Amino acid sequence: VIPPPNVTGVLHLGHALNNTIQDIIIRQKRMQGYNTLWLPGTDHASIAVHNVLENIIADEGITKHELGRDKFLERAWQWKERYGNIIIEQLKKLGCSCDWERERFTMDPGLSKAVLTAFKILYDNGLIYKDFRMINWCPKCLTTIADIEVEKEEEEGNLWYIDYPIKGEDNYITVATTRPETMLGDTAIAVHPKDKRYKSYIGKTAILPLIGRELPIISDERVDTEFGTGAVKITPAHDPDDYEIGLTYNLKQINIFDDRARINENGQKYMNLDRYECREKVIKDLK
C-alpha cells in the first residue's frame, strides 16, 4: 500500500524519492514472478482541508458555523472532487507502476467502516479507554492537532522570575517561567533532590501568588538545575513535562483555559481574558 499523501498537497522531493524506491522494489519482484500489488490512494487530511475551506468561505464573507455542518461537509467533498486528483496525476507522471484501477481514498465507505470496526474491537478488548492527557489544541479550529501536524517556531521572549512565599515563614522560593499566566494552574513547586540550594525547602509548602493556593514543594530528578533558578513551577494541565511529574506525585490537573484559549473560572479574577491579555495582567499584578 502506498503511504497515502494528503489530498490537499502536491508531490515534493521526499515523495519522489520514496515512491521511486518503492517502484524499484515492486518492479523487481514483479519481474521475479511474484504476484505484486502496489495499491495507490490519498489521505483525506481533515485538518488541512478544514483550514483550506475555512479560508475559502471566509473570502465569501461567511463562517463555517453560519454555513452549518452538513453544508460544510458537502463543500469538502466538492473541493476533494475538484482538486483531490492533482497528486494522483503527479504520481502517474512519475511513472509509478501502481494498480490504478484499485485507487482508494481514506474516506471511502469501506475504509471508514473498517476503521470503526477496528476501534470497536480494540475497545471491546479493553485496549482503548478514556483518560486525561496533554494534547495540542487549536483555539481557532476548536480541535486537537496531531504532533506531526504541529509546526514549531522559536521566538525571543522573556523569562519571568516570581517569588512564592513559604507558608509560616518570612521567606520565599523563586521560580522562573516564560508563561507567567499558567501559574494560575500551578499545583506544586519542584526542585532537584541533589540541589543543595533547596534541600531545606523540600516538604514545605509555598503559597501561590495572586491566587493563594497552597503548593507542596517536591523533589524530582527530572528538574533541570540549570534552568532559571533551579526551582520550577509545576502546572500539570499545561506542560508535557509537568504533566508527567504530576502523574508521579498525583498532583491535581487544573485547566485554566476554555476552548478558545481564554481564562476560565479557575483563573478567578482573570476569567474571560485572552491568554496573552492575561499574561500582561498577571505580570502587572505581580509587580
> 254-284 pLDDT, tens per residue?
999 999 999 999 999 999 999 999 999 999 9
Q: Average of pLDDT values for 80-94?
A: 87
pLDDT, residue 35, reads 95
Residue range(s) of every CATH 3.90.740.10 domain in the chain? 160-286
Poorest-confidence range of 6-10, 56-60, 211-215? Answer: 6-10
CA–CA distances in Å: residue 268 to residues 36, 210, 213, 215: 63, 10, 12, 17
Residue 30 banded pLDDT, cuts 50, 70, 90: very high
- Does the structure show a pLDDT above 80 at 9? no
Amino acid at 179: R
Out of 97-106, 116-125, 131-140, pick the least confident. Answer: 131-140
Report the C-alpha gap between 241 and 251 in whole angstroms: 13
Residue 77 pLDDT > 90: no
Bigger pLDDT: 66 vs 218: 218
The pLDDT of 3-12, averaged and rounded, is 83
Query: What φ, ψ does residue 206 adopt, rounded to 5°?
Result: -105, 160
**pLDDT mean over 70-75:** 90
User: What's the pLDDT band for 147 if we cut at 50, 70, 90?
Assistant: confident
pLDDT at 133: 85
| pLDDT for res 87 | 87
Average pLDDT of every residue of the chain: 93
CATH 3.40.50.620 range(s) for the chain read 13-130
What percentage of residues in the chain have a pLDDT greater than 70? 100
Mean pLDDT over 12-40 rounds to 95
pLDDT of residue 55: 86
Over residues 18-34, the mean pLDDT reads 96
- In this structure, CATH architecture of domain 13-130: 3-Layer(aba) Sandwich (3.40)
- Name the superfamily (CATH) of residues 160-286: Valyl/Leucyl/Isoleucyl-tRNA synthetase, editing domain (3.90.740.10)
pLDDT at residue 141, as a whole number: 80
SS (H, E, C) the chain: CCCCCECCCCCCHHHHHHHHHHHHHHHHHHHCCCCCCCCCEEECCHHHHHHHHHHHHHHCCCCHHHHCHHHHHHHHHHHHHHHCCHHHHHHHHHCCCCCHHHCEECCCHHHHHHHHHHHHHHHHCCCCCCCCCCCEEECCCCEEECHHHCCCCCCCCCCEEEEEEECCCCCEEEEEECCHHHHHHCCEEEECCCCHHHHHHCCCEEECCCCCCEEEEEECCCCCCCCCCCCEEECCCCCHHHHHHHHHHCCCCCCCECCCCEECHHHHHHCCCEHHHHHHHHHHHHC
